[in-house]
Structure 1
């Protein structure tokens, strides 16, 4: 099984692309969902966040208030770095565990929805292919303002906080342009899906893994024989 990264700037339509991929029976492992799992009450990351940021970033029922925390880290680079150091490792572990379970179920590949794939750089080398969703900057700004209720100034700051689309495009294996209609977006996404489904790369990976375990078992077998023969002398 191989991994495919799905990323793109805020309000470019990445989630819509992810939904189209799901419609075709392909598993999506969402970093945002994993992030919610690792900060559930009582989990290690939850305790660390409470110790670092205090009770004010939690609701009355002890759930993490992502809006309040987001406001804090957006305006403070050091606080953002601390939060990332607390959560990112646990998020990636959760995503890898989910990927492993899909591998056992025989899926040839899974798509990892990683909004900050390039910004963090922690998972980039594990992706066999990367899909980047982009759109016209004016459309992106309009979508973000409409979706989140942000003022134009705040929306521009949110967009500017991420890596520029041009830099992401340079690192893409597949580029999906989402400035047009939903039908056009769907057609682009299906073309990418068809290419991924036609790949035989997952068989190469399975062969390599099987070969590794076969060699390991053979090595253990001969070591046992060697140990048995020595014990008889």
Structure 2
């Protein structure tokens, strides 16, 4: 297919409180198209979707608010701390999210515009998405910085913050599996330099 410009799409991931939204803003400013898996996760359970229908069948109509939207707090209280219920929810939502993500990746790769698209997926390696991208970028922060930022951002105790961090794939694991690593352990100036250096490689 010589002569054709191809779009490239990269997966972006990182641990909790690693600064994914900040980095995503950098990409947006640099003129990239950006996508966010959390947004997709919300779209697949909007009113009128198969996802919402299946959730109501599984968990009962009390998880639907009077305006027809999903009662996230109610659903959260049902699945939080209940592995079986959480599994049932994931079984409904994950295939729908994956189908939508793959469709966007396919459309981007098929596009003839010479653009770079970035797709932020927190559970990128866990969901085995790396195979679909032109490359994976991991945002890395040191464990101390991560803990400090998470406690500060979410107003958490050290123990709760550590539990949240430990429930995820480790930063080192993500870093070793990624094609590109962006170090966000320093301040914004440091991150901007790191970003410029990375962007030239894409």
Which structure has the greater CA radius of gyration? 1
Q: Distance in 2 between matches of 1:163 and 1:15?
A: 19
Match of 1:34 among 31, 40, 48: 40
Residues 118-143 of structure 1 show CA distances to partners (whole Å, capped at 9, x for unaligned) of: 1121x221122111012122222222
Measured after TM superposition, the shift of residue 177 of structure 1 is 1.4
Partner of 1:151: 157
Measured after TM superposition, the shift of residue 4 of structure 1 is 0.8
The runs of 5 or more residues in structure 1 that have no matched partner are: 197-233
Q: Distance in 1 between matches of 2:64 and 2:157?
A: 26
Give secondary structure in 2 for the equivalent of 1:81: helix
1:88 maps to 2:84: no
What is the number of residues matched between the two proteins?
195
Partner of 1:200: none
Partner of 2:3: none
8 Å contact kept, 1:2–1:110: yes
Q: Distance in 2 between matches of 1:99 and 1:112?
A: 9
1:130 maps to 2:168: no
Moved more, 172-181 or 68-77: 68-77
- What is the TM-score normalised by the length of structure 1? 0.75
8 Å contact kept, 1:119–1:162: no
Give secondary structure in 2 for the equivalent of 1:80: helix
The runs of 5 or more residues in structure 2 that have no matched partner are: 1-6
Measured after TM superposition, the shift of residue 61 of structure 1 is 2.5
Give secondary structure in 1 for the equivalent of 2:126: helix
Partner of 2:118: 111
8 Å contact kept, 1:9–1:115: yes
Partner of 1:69: 75
Measured after TM superposition, the shift of residue 28 of structure 1 is 1.0
Partner of 1:21: 27
- What is the TM-score normalised by the length of structure 2? 0.85
Measured after TM superposition, the shift of residue 71 of structure 1 is 4.8
8 Å contact kept, 1:38–1:87: yes
Q: Which has the higher helix share?
A: 1
Q: Distance in 1 between matches of 2:81 and 2:38?
A: 20
Match of 2:177 among 171, 196, 200: 171
Q: Distance in 1 between matches of 2:71 and 2:152?
A: 22
Residues 140-169 of structure 1 show CA distances to partners (whole Å, capped at 9, x for unaligned) of: 222222222333332222211111111111
